[in-house]
Amino acid sequence: MRNRVPLADIVAGIRVGEVQRQAASDSLAPVDVRVLLSFALGLSRVQLITQSERQLTAGEAERVRALLARRIAGEPVAYIVGEREFYGLAFRVTPDVLIPRPETELLVELALERLPPGGRVLDLGTGSGAIAVAMAADTAHAKPDVRVTAVDASEAALAVARGNAARLLPRQTVDFIHSDWYAALPDGARFELIVSNPPYIEQNDAHLQQGDLRFEPPDALTDHADGLSALRAIIAGAPRYLVPGGWLLMEHGYDQAEAVRALLVAAQFAQVQSWRDLAGLERVTGGLLQVQRAI
Ligand code: GLN
């Protein structure tokens, strides 16, 4: 239908199944409509199907229209519903934090493989706490003595991360510190593993003006420079905080793996390598801090 007012047909009496057909034709992905509809009505995905003939009240129709309108205006679904699943856990997210991405689960898996019993982990720029809390949750039973330290330069992000740790972990095994990378770490702090998903998008990258990224905190996305400055700072500081034999693992952009490997090699890291995400892109690069030999 031409010139139809978007969402105009979502009024009292419309059926749940009909909303999905109507809305999906109004520049909305069917999956987004499903998530927003189940959020608005308090129904599970299965209930959306079993109750497809149920009619909406006027209040429900208005609520659904309002949420769908926000999505049409570009707002990410995760911010509208305040939640995003990562590593099988439901993380609260607000516009103060980056929305966790599935490719970051690769970083978590690689880190867990390298974490010894009793290991200490440092997560730099934790945002929602996705990496730190996923690692703490995964090790809670098998390696209960693991300690995670998570830092962020944003107090607002730390508040979100602390909330996620409190809700998702059986015991509070994550220490949160307000810190610009390593700046506020206690003297003598040492870690078996350092992980980070830092801002790595180059300042003039057109993607920053597109899609969900327009709504995410710019400081979590871009270094406001060449895209590598946060990665450089993390690599430069790591030798002072890693134990010999400890690993540094970083997520980066699809075209940055070679540059990050070169930075690690220049900083004398060993076993420098990159790993591909499910899309086949080199997404994580890391290296091991060599054991210092006496001369
Ligand atoms: N992976 C995100 C994106 O390209 C960026 C995340 C980041 O800068 N750390 O959408």
**Confidence label for 4 from pLDDT (cuts 50, 70 and 90):** low
The band of 2, judged by pLDDT with boundaries at 50, 70 and 90, is: very low
249, 107 Cβ separation under 8 angstroms: yes
**Ligand 1 contact, 201 CB (< 6 A):** yes
Q: How far is the CA of 147 from the centre of ligand 1 (A)?
A: 26
Q: What is the model's pLDDT at position 278? A: 94
Average pLDDT, the chain: 95
197 lines ligand 1 (CB under 6 A): yes
Taking phi over 0 as left and psi of -120 to 50 as alpha, with beta for the rest, 128 belongs to alpha
The gap between the terminal CA atoms of the chain, to the nearest Å, is: 79
Say if ligand 1 is within 6 A of residue 101 CB: yes
Integer Cα distance of 120 and 165 in angstroms: 17
Domains parsed from the chain with CATH numbers: 7-73 (1.10.8), 95-289 (3.40.50.150)
pLDDT beyond 70 at 26: no
Q: Report pTM.
A: 0.94
Mutate to test the pocket of ligand 1, among 86, 97, 98 (most ligand atoms within 8 A of CB): 98
CA of 171 to the centre of ligand 1 (A): 30
Atom of ligand 1 nearest to the CA of 98: 6
Let me know the angle formed at the C-alpha of 209 by 35 and 128, rounded to the nearest 5 degrees. Answer: 50
In this predicted structure, the answer to whether residue 68 has a pLDDT above a threshold of 60 is: yes
pLDDT band with cut points at 50, 70 and 90 for residue 1: very low
